Amino acid sequence: MTQPAQKSGIPLWLIALFFLTFAIGTDDFVIAGVLRDIADDLAVSEAVAGQLITAFSIVYAVVAPLAAVVLARWSRRPTMIAITLVFAALNVLMAVAPSYSALLGLRILAAIAAAAVTPAAFATAAMMAPPNRQGSYIGMVAAGLTVSLVVGVPLGTWIGGAFGWQSTMLFVAALLVLAALGMTALPREGRPPAIPLRVRLAPLGRPAIMVGLLGTAIAASGGLMFYAYIGPVSNFMSGASTGTLAVLIAVAGVCGAIGTVLGGRLADAWGPDRTLVSALAVQVLATLLAAVLAWTIGAGQVPVVAIGALLAVWAIAGWALNPPVQMRLLMLAGDAGMEVVALNSSALYVGISVAGAAGGTALALLGPQGVPLIAGLLGFCALVLFVLAFQVFRLRVPDQSAPAASGEGARADAHG
């Protein structure tokens, strides 16, 4: 599809997609902030209430690729608006859920809605982006997820503490309604062509795409492990208090938002492959340096400023990975773009699951100093995988500086 002429500035529909992912990220993670209130109100333990988070993640990972296949032949604009409004309605129903089982069922339905609309948001941003702005537009959508951790989750948690956890659900619903209204500015498009399923999914078998999905899972495992266990790690390294930990997490969130935007711009300027490898290398270096400090200086002796600096570099580089990864997969996928983005989301959630399990094992066997070590080694494995794929086996996207060979858009090279 040819991109429409773009006016200067950020289009309204792109701002709407930012609000959409901001609302989805808030909805996903804010439950942790109001978990105790939910448990008390619905007469369940916090461990049982925590399954609201687990169920959302598992359902999202399973449903995302299936929903992408089902929705691929539907007109994107009305479909995205409708799903977003359904998502909003589900959050309203959560606010009046009479029991834990009802709330759990609504969370599962909300995960299905999120899994259906998120890949479509990324694919739409890439498709509608002007020439040489694809990475920046994808970065804008990805920034919604990052900013939700810095702004949406704390704000939703505060609202829940002040007015009850039900008000948090209404807050998310309001964000989703705003996003749906903004998406009415999306250009109208006809019904996608009736491409046979076998033909549409053929790109999924390309080695370049398989390597990308595997790399996403491994990189996410290593990257998110360090973040997930930053509490015990920072406490071991510097004796960081709860208040200091809150500052460290805020630093990571702000720097992550910066990294998302930076990653999109670098992907436009350098191409996705070079940006991906560069960002991952910096993140791995920061993580392994944290491990070196933890193992050599000793418990409680590392200045908290040094931890904050490493965490800032880790966050900028780590979140800069999202735009080039999405951009690369979309360039390789052709007609299967939304399906590939959905699979990448699933790979990310698999990585998150591995991060929790492997990080817990490292913590138990090696102590807090073992977490950044194992995280860094996993990240290094992902880096080696991508470097070998791009340089040795040439599983990379074409050079963006070269003129397109045809009007079909970017394609994988003969080996990809």
> Residue 215: inside a domain, yes or no?
yes
On whether both 219 and 124 belong to a single domain, the answer is no
384 falls in which pLDDT band (50, 70, 90)? very high
| pLDDT of res. 31 | 85
> Residue 220: inside a domain, yes or no?
yes
| pLDDT of res. 401 | 43
pTM for the model:
0.75
Q: What's the burial of 60, exposed, middle or buried (CB within 10 Å: 0-12/13-18/19+)? A: buried
Helix (H) or strand (E) holding 386: helix 370-387
| pLDDT of res. 190 | 52
**Could you say which of 186, 211, 245 is where a domain stops?**
186
Q: What is the CATH number of the domain that holds 259?
A: 1.20.1250.20
How many domains is the chain partitioned into structurally?
A: 2
Those residues with Cβ within 8 angstroms of residue 145's Cβ, 6 or more apart along the chain or in another chain: 21, 22, 24, 25, 260, 322
On whether both 208 and 96 belong to a single domain, the answer is no
333 falls in which pLDDT band (50, 70, 90)? confident
On whether both 157 and 264 belong to a single domain, the answer is no
| pLDDT of res. 161 | 86
154 falls in which pLDDT band (50, 70, 90)? confident
Strand ranges in 288-334 using DSSP code E only, listed in sequence order: none
> Residue 2: inside a domain, yes or no?
no
On whether both 45 and 165 belong to a single domain, the answer is yes
On whether both 108 and 211 belong to a single domain, the answer is no
Cβ neighbours of 31 (radius 10 Å)? 25
| pLDDT of res. 128 | 87
Residue 350 phi, psi dihedral angles, 5° rounding: -65, -45
62 falls in which pLDDT band (50, 70, 90)? confident
Cβ–Cβ under 8 Å, residues 351 and 218: yes
For the stretch 216-268, pLDDT in tens is 999 988 988 888 788 888 889 988 776 787 788 788 888 988 998 899 999 99
Amino acid at 191: R
> Residue 175: inside a domain, yes or no?
yes
On whether both 269 and 206 belong to a single domain, the answer is yes
The total number of residues shown for the chain amounts to 416
Report d(CA 185, CA 230) in Å as an integer.
41
Amino acid at 164: G
**Could you say which of 122, 156, 186 is where a domain stops?**
186
> Residue 224: inside a domain, yes or no?
yes
199 falls in which pLDDT band (50, 70, 90)? low
| pLDDT of res. 2 | 42
Tell me which residue has tokens 């944290």: 290
Mean pLDDT of 38-59: 86
Residue 10 phi, psi dihedral angles, 5° rounding: -90, 125
110 falls in which pLDDT band (50, 70, 90)? very high
> Residue 402: inside a domain, yes or no?
no
Q: Quick check: 402 pLDDT over 50?
A: no
> Residue 51: inside a domain, yes or no?
yes
99 secondary structure, DSSP code: S
> Residue 400: inside a domain, yes or no?
no
On whether both 40 and 104 belong to a single domain, the answer is yes
> Which residue range is the domain that position 212 belongs to?
201-392
For the stretch 264-308, pLDDT in tens is 999 999 999 999 999 999 999 999 999 999 999 877 889 999 999
